[in-house]
Chain A
Amino acid sequence: MNNTEIINKIKSSFKNISIDENHSDRIISTPKEWEELSKFLRNDYDLFFDSMMCITGIDEGVDSNNLGVVYNLHSMKYNHKIEVYIPVDKKTPNIFSVEKIWRMAEWFEREIYDMYGIVFDGHSDLRRILLPDDWDGFPLRKDYEFPKTWHGIVVDKIKDGWE
């Protein structure tokens, strides 16, 4: 199926999704709808997106109220692709976890939680993955402030009396 057919197929079941004007292969949904939509994309006979290529977290900027998650899906059977973008509110950053549907999401969602603080509801083991467990804050957010010290170790480059 080509892009238009895929999007029409999804639109026939999910009325509320919108399409990115600049990118015809990207659909935009909401965290509420994502649970139903993800199961539909995986299980529908004609779509059958059995392979999740990548899950990326993004921050829309300091001025925006949104974080976001980008899902890049691919079907090994039909060899077609779709990109799903879900904006997540910064105040309540909750989204359905697709760990049970695509197992690779287990670690990718942990990484996004680690870097952005997006909480994946239903994830079996949502811990930090790359950073130490006691790290403060979420580094890839645009408003992240770098720590001055960590466990008493000075990490700020500019120290008194240097240069």
Chain B
Amino acid sequence: MGIKINNQNTHNSSDEEMVLNIGPQHPSTHGVLRLKTITDGEIIKKITPYIGYLHRCFEKHCENLTYEQAIPFVDRCDYIGSMNNDFGYAIAVEKLMDIQVPEKVEYIRVIVAEMNRIASHLLAVGVFGLDVGAVTPFVYCFRDRERILDLFEMLCGARLLYNYIWVGGVSHDFPVGWVEKTYEFLDYFEPKIIETNDLLTYNKIFIERTADVGVIPPEVAISYGVTGPNLRGSGVKWDLRKNETYSIYDKFDFDIPIGTGAMGTIGDCWDRYYVRIRELEESLKIVRQALDQMPRQGDIYESMPKKIRPNAGHIYSRTESPRGDLGFYIESDGSATPSRLKLRSPAFTALSCMDEISKGWMLADMLTILGSLDIVLGEIDR
């Protein structure tokens, strides 16, 4: 179990303070992130994250791109959950243009988004294990994630950056045999969660490393705008799929898992990790129900607009991506290009509370906390 030192006055610490740079090229920073850490011995005094190493001028580019051309750029923001990013963007533009998509398209979108959520959480869980020293579960998680990527490759040809969900529709219908293969995957994957639990979740060493470490109190999480599994890990029952239901999520029966402090305190690293594991099960439930209910006939291009030219106006719309509330603020001046497109990244807010929650912890615990937040630098830097 990690040790947190709150009493800073036990000895004159100013002589022993040291500045330690972690990153930008460091395997535990999950990308190109530099953490300027002020340490006293092994205790963290202050962390200043330096970001922007992956800045690709997404928002500036979008001023010169049409609405459909922006979709591949949106893909590349959160490259672990591309389908969810496309989904959020498509919903925002559709709200701006008042487009109703056919029921079949809604089902297709929910299925691929939830499959992508499983893939994203598998990566988060596996890499978190790797951060605290468990190498084997990482390989097991990637084995299962690979099967989802294969399914997506069969669906649209791409394995990571799909450009699949378009404004008003999707790029391809399900190919022949895809639904059966997905059912096969669901049957295959359900017992694998138990395997992950045996390997990692209830592993004594893993619990010692993560329980009670890096607690985010609920009011701190809300003030910092921390959302998604990180917020639910702190015991706040908040999920946009239920609380601000969009698309057809109201048709499915699923739970919102929250952190209970089963191994330590509510809102510790273990809780955040376990919420992701539980969400795997919930996503499986949604995919199975959606596959059962999905209308097999129907035209997916029916509501796709020939020209995307929204009337002048603006919209702020948010959806639940694997990392939390993914918001899009779009301002249109009536032309084919948005005059302002802002992506509100959930990982950006999660990283901003790093300093607050890791003060007083040891250096090794700091990397545990960073891993448990599940950040994607592509989305933070945009």
Contacts and interface: CB of A to CB of B under 8 A. Distances in A.
A130 B382 contact: yes
A59 B333 CA distance: 12
Interface stretch (A3-11, A45-53, A86-94): A45-53
Interface residues of A, number: 29
Contacts of A61: 339
Given A130-B51, A130-B52, A53 B223 contact: no
B52 A131 contact: yes
Interface string B51-89: 110010101100000000000000000000000000000
A95 B353 CA distance: 23
B342 interface: yes
A132 interface: yes
Contacts of B244: 79
B314 interface: yes
Interface magnitude class on chain B: 20 to 34
Contacts of B339: 61
A96 interface: no
B353 A103 contact: yes
A72 B327 contact: yes
A56 B329 contact: yes
A104 B225 contact: yes
B85 to A, nearest CB: 16
B349 A107 contact: yes
B200 to A, nearest CB: 31
Interface string A28-58: 0000000000000000000000111110101
B202 interface: no
B380 to A, nearest CB: 9
A102 B226 CA distance: 12
B352 A54 contact: no
B288 interface: no
A53 B327 contact: yes
A54 B342 contact: yes
Contacts of B60: 139-140
B68 to A, nearest CB: 22
Nearest to A81: B316
A129 interface: yes
Interface string A86-121: 000000000000000011101100000001000000
A58 B341 CA distance: 9
B52 A54 contact: no
Interface string B203-241: 000000000000000001011110000000000101000
Contacts of A154: none
B195 to A, nearest CB: 36
A104 to B, nearest CB: 3
A58 B331 contact: yes
Contact of A70 (B52, B55, B329): B329
A76 interface: yes
B313 interface: yes
A23 B51 contact: no
A106 B327 CA distance: 18
A12 B290 CA distance: 48
Given A54-B342, A83-B316, A104 B223 contact: yes
A22 interface: yes
A72 B316 CA distance: 8
A23 B381 contact: no
Interface in B305-329: 313-314, 316, 318, 325, 327, 329
B344 interface: yes
A52 B226 CA distance: 10
A70 B57 CA distance: 20
A52 to B, nearest CB: 6
B243 interface: yes
Contact of A129 (B51, B318, B329): B51
A27 to B, nearest CB: 14
Contacts of B55: 130-131
A106 B224 CA distance: 9
Interface in B321-360: 325, 327, 329, 331, 339-340, 342, 344, 348-349, 352-353, 356
B222 A50 contact: yes
Contacts of A103: 220, 223-225, 352-353, 356
The 7 closest A-B pairs by CB, nearest first: A104-B225, A130-B52, A54-B344, A107-B352, A103-B223, A56-B342, A56-B329
29 contacts: A23-B313, A23-B314, A50-B222, A51-B225, A53-B225, A53-B325, A54-B316, A54-B327, A54-B344, A56-B329, A56-B344, A70-B329, A72-B316, A76-B222, A83-B316, A102-B223, A102-B225, A103-B220, A103-B223, A103-B352, A104-B224, A104-B349, A106-B352, A107-B349, A115-B59, A129-B51, A130-B52, A130-B381, A140-B59
Interface of A: 22-23, 50-54, 56, 58-59, 61, 70, 72, 76, 79, 83, 102-104, 106-107, 115, 128-132, 139-140
